[in-house]
Structure 1
Amino acid sequence: METFQIQQITLADHSEATTIELALTSAELVLITEHGSKLWYIDVTGAGPASLLDHYYSSEHILVSVTALAADGRTFQGKAYFHANVPKQACVLRGDDELIAL
């Protein structure tokens, strides 16, 4: 398991043709290699804006393209499902398929 502190996240929602920077207090990218498979997710606290969390909390279309800038300068890109936790102002971006390190 590897972890990376994330300092910036940009989301692209192709169903709405929009791109937005996700506000965050802290975020951690977790990469897990298990039985030859690689899984990944980004755990975000202090997520916002609230309207974005509300949108994905109630939407059936939660697949987004993610670009994440790590604190060490590395950039990661992939597609993920946006799971909003509105009461805690948090979210998890659960990776779908490969995460590419640029």
Structure 2
Amino acid sequence: MNTYMLSELTITHKHIATRLAFASAQLVIVTEGGFRLWYIDLDGMTQSSLLRDFEQSEDIRVELKGTSVEGSSFTATGYLHPNTKHHAAAIRGDGKLEGLG
């Protein structure tokens, strides 16, 4: 398992790019027995209206561009699962993560 703290994360949803505002974000890449998955946990999100929009939407697929605190960049596709009550979200990976791991 590899983990990366993120300094920047931008999502594109319905052709609109939004830079996410968060207190912390961690990318986790899990590789077990030839199986690979990844996810991002975001805490301290200040964009409550964005979280509410995803809560109401059936389309939660997003394109991602991110940067780790070490300066490495990545792109990917995932599904944003909001937790509005806790000002948090999880993005579950869909397919390959380009640039890290």
Q: Which category of TM-score, normalised to the shorter sequence, fits these structures?
A: over 0.9
The equivalent of 1:51 in structure 2 is: 49
Q: TM-score, normalised by structure 2?
A: 0.95
Counterpart of 1:68, as a letter, is: G
Shift in Å at residue 48 of structure 1? 3.2
Let me know the Cα RMSD of the aligned residues: 1.0
Superposition misfits of 4+ residues, deviation over 4 angstroms: none
The equivalent of 2:11 in structure 1 is: 11
Q: TM-score, normalised by structure 1?
A: 0.94
The Cα offsets for residues 47-72 of structure 1, whole Å up to 9 and x where unpaired, read as 13111100111100000001111000
Alignment gaps of 5+ in structure 2:
none
The equivalent of 2:76 in structure 1 is: 78
Shift in Å at residue 35 of structure 1? 1.8
Helix, strand or coil at the partner of 1:100: coil
Q: Percent identity?
A: 36
The Cα offsets for residues 62-90 of structure 1, whole Å up to 9 and x where unpaired, read as 00001111000001110010000000000
Question: Matched residues in 2 for 1:18 and 1:68: separation?
Answer: 16
Q: Tell me which protein shows more strand as a share of its residues.
A: 1
The equivalent of 1:100 in structure 2 is: 98
Question: Matched residues in 1 for 2:81 and 2:57: separation?
Answer: 10
